[in-house]
Amino acid sequence: MKQHSDAEAYLQDFHRRHAGATSATFSHLPARIGDEEHPSSYHALASRVAANAGTVLDLCCGDGALLCLLAGRCGPPRLIGVDFSHPELAAARTLLPRDVLLVQQRAQQLGIVAGSIDCVTSHMAMMLLDDIESVLAEVARVLRTGGRFAAIVGRNVLLGGLGEVFMNTFRQTAREDGLAPLAMGDARTRSEAGWRELLERDFHHVEYAEVDVLCNQSPEELWHELRLTYDVDRLSDDARTLLRSRFLQGLAPLVQRDGAVHTGWGLALISAVIRHT
């Protein structure tokens, strides 16, 4: 593997231009896991961090949205945020207490002492990373005995018929735009079976749960959030304008009487406990 793949170079550039984009999309939308209701997918992930956790490492922490939630707990744990994007870490620094340690590193090679972390978390990043096996080996290395790994990852772009409308219009527009493929992450991170395979060597008590992030928004509000997804961002300006027109036209029959479209983002929550003793 190259030290920096084309996908990683693109992600670096995107988060330089759009620091905080992930939390801007997901921090205000309610999340449902079966019968569980959470204010957001960040809250859903935070619920898997024990109240008495000693040291928590948030991997690919972005602008610190999850760390903010954990820091606000009564008797907060020691918090560490790692990200490869300097602009994201700079944004996080403005939001977080000074005692939260922020470090610019790649997830594949962490400069953290082995066995020093009680819980490793990650929100909407693990399915994008190069060499996921090295990443998970580092997670296993830094966790203490009995430590937990918990992550929110992507599952579907949009739920229901709206997802089909978007994918059909995007594929047509991307083809006409000559958009070159850009492989991000490992295909195994997109399914329950894949995650179980990835985690079986170093972890046990693996749990996988579907998370529906619900949104009732106007067509323009939904487009604004789709505009900040990676594939749409990679289109030329003219192609994005065309995609917007096609998408809004395609979803018109799905707009409700209140002027909103009722859909959501399909995510998943993975949780596992380290095996070593």
For the chain, domains (ranges, CATH) are 6-157+187-214+266-274 (3.40.50.150)
Q: Tens of pLDDT along 151-177? A: 999 998 888 889 999 999 999 999 999
pTM: 0.94
* 11-15, 125-129, 272-276: the lowest-pLDDT one: 272-276
pLDDT the model gives residue 277: 57
Two structure tokens written together for 108: 């594949």
SS3 163: helix
φ/ψ (deg, to 5) at 167:
-65, -40
Q: What pLDDT sits at residue 157? A: 82
Residue 161 near residue 254, CB atoms below 8 Å: yes
3-state secondary structure (DSSP) of residue 35: coil
Question: How far apart are the two ends of the chain, measured CA to CA in Å?
Answer: 31
Tell whether the model's pLDDT for residue 102 goes beyond 80. Answer: yes
Mean pLDDT, rounded, for 190-200: 96
- Asked if the model's pLDDT at residue 77 lies above 90, the reply is no
